[in-house]
Amino acid sequence: MGSTLEWETEMIRISDGIYAYIQATGKWFINNAGLILGKKDTTIIDSLSNAKMADNFITEIRKITDIPFGYLINTHHHSDHIWTNHLFTGAKTICHTNCRVETLKEMSMNPKFYSGFFTEIDFEGAKVTPQDLTFEKQLTIYQETEHALREIRLVHAGAAHTTGDVFLYLPEEKVVFCGDILFAEPCTPFALMGSLYGWIHVLDLLSNLDADTYVPGHGPLSGKDAIYKARDYLTFVRDEAKKRFEEGLNVYDAVKEIDLGKYSRWGEKERIVGNVARAYSDFRGEPPGIPKGGLIGIMTRMMKYRKELEG
């Protein structure tokens, strides 16, 4: 299963009762979601950025089933994955402990904070709703189906894209819902709020799972090749940033020196600013999360670089 530079917004049946809701482009705030259908309830993976997107997703769900929502899993705290939790009526929301902590912080600034940076995004109907249930390392849901109990493993393998990432592994079906642990080509990964070293480690874990299908947080439905490509990108950033760090360059000067090469055809190239900032933080031995310089400062620099790239 290879990647492509163009894909459609659609609900894709992966196997019996398992669906990926893939949104086209995979740009900022345009994420993927999922549906796992049980006999008595459904498990939803992530909500979406605004009411229109969520309504479209729910419409596609209702074409398949009228079974009530059971659980809604937030794979991490970023806005595009939590902003419409409230529209999945009746669902109990689940996430990692760190995800809920960060969700509570989001309540003070969303969506106004992001609308200042991303004027092209529609935030109609966006609302931050804290999750109902949290866990630390692993939680297994045993979902009743028509024929058996489906095992759904929720796993936190450490900081990666954020400090509270969760992936869902369905061992019998060999399917992984990755959340933003996987940005599938041509979507550029974004490590600002996690750990570059940690993310590379978690991608190694994902690649070693007995799985055939990987649903990325952004980008087309994928196989293991997308895991390898995302890991290669992050390794590239780590190595290129390390050279500049050792030369004593600041983050922004380092970014201007880095030739993205084959990654220049990927989208959202401005993310290199946040990724190098996160790499520098890792090199300094700082804990995972937003680096020194703060979110506003780094985002401002990133958007400035975005305008420079656009000419």
36, part of any domain: yes
pLDDT in tens, 184-221: 999 999 999 999 999 999 999 999 999 999 999 999 99
292, part of any domain: no
179, part of any domain: yes
288, part of any domain: no
Average pLDDT, the chain: 95
pLDDT in tens, 76-107: 999 999 999 999 999 999 999 999 999 999 88
Helix/strand/coil percent split, the chain, to 5: 35, 20, 40
- Count structural domains, the chain: 1
Tokens of 94: 């689940």
pLDDT in tens, 127-152: 999 999 999 999 999 999 988 999 99
266, part of any domain: no
pLDDT in tens, 15-28: 999 999 999 998 99
Query: What is the domain range of residue 156?
Result: 10-232
- The pTM (predicted TM-score) of the whole model is 0.96
196, part of any domain: yes
Contact 79, 150 (CB under 8 A): no
CATH number for 75: 3.60.15.10
Contact 30, 102 (CB under 8 A): no
**Segment 161-173 mean pLDDT:** 98
Strands across the sheet with 69-73, in order?
A: 10-15, 18-22, 33-37, 42-45, 69-73, 92-96, 133-135
* pLDDT > 70 fraction of the chain, expressed in percent and rounded: 98
164, part of any domain: yes
Cα dihedral 161, 106, 85, 127, rounded to 10, equals -140
Three-state secondary-structure class, residue 125: coil
68, part of any domain: yes
Q: HSE-up of 127 (CA within 13 Å, CB side)?
A: 10
Distances (CA, A) of 289 to 164, 195, 238: 10, 7, 16
